[in-house]
Structure 1
Amino acid sequence: MTSPSDKRASGNPAKQAQIDLTVKQQREQKRQEKLAEYQKQVARRKRGKLVWWVVGSTAALAVVGLVVASFAFAPAPPPSYQAGNSTGLEIDGVQSFDNRSDHVQGTVTYDQTPPAGGPHNPMWLNCGVYTEPQQNENAVHALEHGAIWITYDPERVDQAGIDALKAVMPSSYALLSPYPGMDTPIAVSAWDHQLKVDSADDPRIAEFFTEYWRSQNAPEPNAPCSGGVNGPGRA
């Protein structure tokens, strides 16, 4: 009985050499096959890492892009003014008055158009942006609390102008509403003070806010500008 090793042996030296060569070739072939398979595995791992790197990098760039876009396209915060910052600044075109501040019922005939103070309704108009004309008597009460009221003639101020007026408004104690029939495109009113301008881009509007917003010279400077009444067209 012969062993497996005997089958590979041959008494013929030439035949034996051929057998030995075949065994070596088979071993080399297996080695090459293992090496090729290993290289394929390495290549697959590299491709996988590359794909994940590309995906990760793309996702990271997308996140960065979203963050940048959120800052770039976010609406600008409303401007801020110092409450009670009345310094006596001389603003060209500002008119000053001496109005009563009593509470009354019914309609009031005011000395100014729009009014910049005077007798008014016991309920104040809540501050904010309105797309429709407001009741004078309620808006004047908001002026009594230190608010500033921007009014515009809708026939002479377009949407771009309205947006420019919104941009100068602080987040509180400010009113914006149309006021048909004014003798000027835009009027900015605080208690006993008023500025009339032709353009929403007039820098004096911001100066007016700086000087008169929440002025301590208003009859009730620390009273609220919310909790009153909402007029029609509250935005």
Structure 2
Amino acid sequence: MSDDTRATIKQRLSVMQARQRRAERMRRVAVIAAVVVVLGGLVATATVLILKERGRSSLDAVQTIAVTQREHTTDPVTYPQSPPVGGNHDPAWQNCGLYSQPLRNENVVHAQEHGAVWITYRPDMPMDQVEKLLALARGRDYIIVSPFPDLSAPVVVSAWTKQLKLDRVDDPRLPAFLRAYIQGPATPEPGAPCSGGIGEPSV
């Protein structure tokens, strides 16, 4: 084999090896790019889910309503909100607990003054949904649960100066509301009793 032939073969081998190295580099770059894309997609999906969950459990939708009066009265009171979130009220507070019949606003408002949260639901709500509300509240202090006629949403949860309307009983904002507003910062008489008043919880 002549020197020229050897040189030609060596040159061809060198070219082939260079092409193989370039191809290998391109494959590595493609793999890395694919991994980056997949990881980026996973991170983006996780971020969206986290933000969505935070949005569901956020209390940004809670209405804050000014209450300027809280005198005792035995007369009926016309409240600007339905259900009410505070105001003048009966001298006797509603005992906290679970009720199967609508309650008198004036007595529940007095319980709200003591730090109770009132969970109200439409009277025609299916019983399996009602049971979910009862299970959430059963055995806990400073919660009143009762049906409420002509409710503007399937579930409305109210504390002193605070109210949140919900479309579902399993909305994560409901337990968040309870954590935030049972004996919450707006409670006029924190620590006052939620028993020893009137009413016999029936559920």
Tell me the residue number matched to 1:168: 136
User: Residues 124-163 of structure 1: matches in 2 within 5 Å?
Assistant: 124-155=93-124, 157-163=125-131
Q: Which residue identity is paired with 1:114?
A: P
Residue 174 of structure 1 and its aligned partner are, at CA, apart by 0.4
Are the aligned partners of 1:146 and 1:216 in contact in 2 as well (CA < 8 Å)?
A: no
Tell me the residue number matched to 2:45: none
1:5-26 deviation digits (Å, cap 9, x = unpaired):
xxxxxxxxxxxxxxxxxxxxxx
Q: Which residue identity is paired with 2:197?
A: G
Runs of 5+ in structure 2 lacking a partner? 1-56
2:87 corresponds to which of 115, 118, 130: 118
Are the aligned partners of 2:95 and 2:197 in contact in 1 as well (CA < 8 Å)?
A: yes
What is the rounded CA distance, in whole Å, between the counterparts of 1:234 and 1:116 in structure 2?
23
What is the rounded CA distance, in whole Å, between the counterparts of 2:72 and 2:182 in structure 1?
22
User: Residues 1-235 of structure 1: matches in 2 within 5 Å?
Assistant: 91-99=59-67, 100-155=69-124, 157-169=125-137, 171-230=140-199, 234-235=202-203
Are the aligned partners of 2:120 and 2:155 in contact in 1 as well (CA < 8 Å)?
A: yes
**TM-score of the superposition, structure 1-length normalised?**
0.59
Are the aligned partners of 2:121 and 2:154 in contact in 1 as well (CA < 8 Å)?
A: yes
Identity %: 45
1:196-229 deviation digits (Å, cap 9, x = unpaired):
0011010000000111111142111110000000
What is the rounded CA distance, in whole Å, between the counterparts of 1:228 and 1:127 in structure 2?
9
1:56-114 deviation digits (Å, cap 9, x = unpaired):
xxxxxxxxxxxxxxxxxxxxxxxxxxxxxxxxx96032101111211111110001000
Q: Secondary structure of 1:154's match?
A: coil
Detail structure 1 runs of 4+ shifted over 6 Å in the superposition. none
State how many pairs are aligned. Answer: 145
Runs of 5+ in structure 1 lacking a partner? 1-88
**TM-score of the superposition, structure 2-length normalised?**
0.68
What is the rounded CA distance, in whole Å, between the counterparts of 2:126 and 2:115 in structure 1?
28
Q: Secondary structure of 1:176's match?
A: strand
Q: Which residue identity is paired with 2:111?
A: A
The alignment's C-alpha RMSD in Å is 1.6
